[in-house]
């Protein structure tokens, strides 16, 4: 089964948002049973915590429910579990590249690659304002669609 792990730094803002946007889209397409989805952070500072209130609040405005998510840190075993490991920014991407086993045969990519914006980042909204969270969701929506299109084509689902 195709499996996707979204990764940011703290796993309380961008990657929980990416998980919610992608899950919503997958379920809308009746593929909830066919794709495994999770998110994690390269840092473990917020492990066990729910997503940032601002990520939840803005998410609700777009119809996403993040309240059941809990932060966790990326582990080595994630590279066994997930075919797609998707980083929100270059720093997370570089850290994941260092961490990945040499024989990892999945796809390590940046989220906005799937929106035709190769190398561009989903900027960290943590020290910003509510408008930065809106910006995050607006970047994530087309990228989630591009990622699902890619997976559907690759896996013929
Ligand atoms: P995220 O945002 O990586 O999108 O979850 C951040 C969350 C927390 C911190 C930084 C970024 N922090 O420094 O605690």
Instruction: Provide the mean pLDDT of the chain.
Output: 98
Domain that holds residue 93: 3-152
Residue 156 CA, ligand 1 centroid: distance in Å: 35
Report how far ligand 1's centroid is from the alpha carbon of 43 (Å): 9
Binding site membership of 43 for ligand 1 (Cβ less than 6 Å): no
d(CA 79, CA 100): 7
Q: Which residues are catalytic?
A: 8, 14, 124
Mutate to test the pocket of ligand 1, among 13, 39, 51, 110 (most ligand atoms within 8 A of CB): 13
pLDDT for the residue numbered 39? 99
Say how far apart CA 134 and CA 94 lie, in whole Å: 26
Residue 62, pLDDT score: 97
Reported as a pLDDT band with limits 50, 70 and 90, residue 154 is very high
Please report the pLDDT score of residue 5 as a whole number: 99
Cβ of residue 11 lying under 6 Å from some atom of ligand 1: yes
Nearest-5° angle of CA 90, CA 6, CA 142? Answer: 85
> Ligand 1 in contact with 59 (CB < 6 A)?
no
Quick check: is 63 in a domain?
Answer: yes
Decide if 157 is inside a domain: no
Q: What is the pLDDT of residue 42?
A: 98
C-alpha 14 – ligand 1 centre gap (Å): 8
Q: Which pLDDT score, from 0 to 100, does residue 30 have? A: 98
Band of the pLDDT at 132, cuts 50, 70, 90?
A: very high
DSSP secondary structure code for residue 71 in this structure: -
Nearest to 73 by CA among 55, 92, 57: 92
Question: 66-80, pLDDT tens digit by residue?
Answer: 999 999 999 999 999
When pLDDT is averaged across residues 1-18 and rounded to a whole number, the result is: 98
Return the CATH number at 81: 3.40.50.2300
**How many domains are there within the chain?**
1
* Structural domain includes residue 62: yes
**Is the beta carbon of 13 within 6 A of some atom in ligand 1?**
yes
| Segment 19-56, tens digit of pLDDT | 999 999 999 999 999 999 999 999 999 999 999 999 99
Nearest-angstrom CA–CA distance, 133 and 58: 7
Report the separation in Å between the CA atom of 107 and the middle of ligand 1, taken as the mean of its atom positions. 24
Residue 25 near residue 148 (C-beta atoms within 8 A): yes
- Whether 22 contacts 5, CB under 8 Å: no
* Domain presence at residue 31: yes
Sheet holding 36-41, edge to edge: 36-41, 3-8, 84-87, 107-110
pLDDT of residue 149: 98
């Amino acid at each position: 089964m195709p499996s996707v792990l979204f990764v940011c730094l703290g796993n309380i803002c961008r990657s929980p948002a990416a998980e919610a946007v992608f899950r919503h889209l997958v379920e809308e397409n009746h593929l909830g049973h066919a794709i495994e989805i999770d998110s994690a952070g390269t840092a473990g500072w917020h492990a066990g915590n729910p997503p940032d209130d601002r990520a939840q609040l803005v998410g609700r405005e777009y119809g996403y429910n993040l309240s059941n998510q809990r932060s966790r840190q990326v582990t080595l075993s994630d590279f066994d579990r997930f075919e797609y490991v998707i980083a929100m920014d270059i720093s997370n991407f570089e850290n994941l590249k260092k961490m990945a086993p040499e024989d990892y045969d999945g796809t390590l990519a940046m989220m906005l690659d799937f929106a035709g914006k190769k190398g561009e980042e989903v900027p960290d909204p943590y020290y910003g304002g509510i408008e930065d969270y809106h910006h995050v969701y607006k970047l994530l929506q087309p990228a989630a669609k591009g990622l699902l299109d890619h997976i559907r084509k690759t896996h013929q689902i």
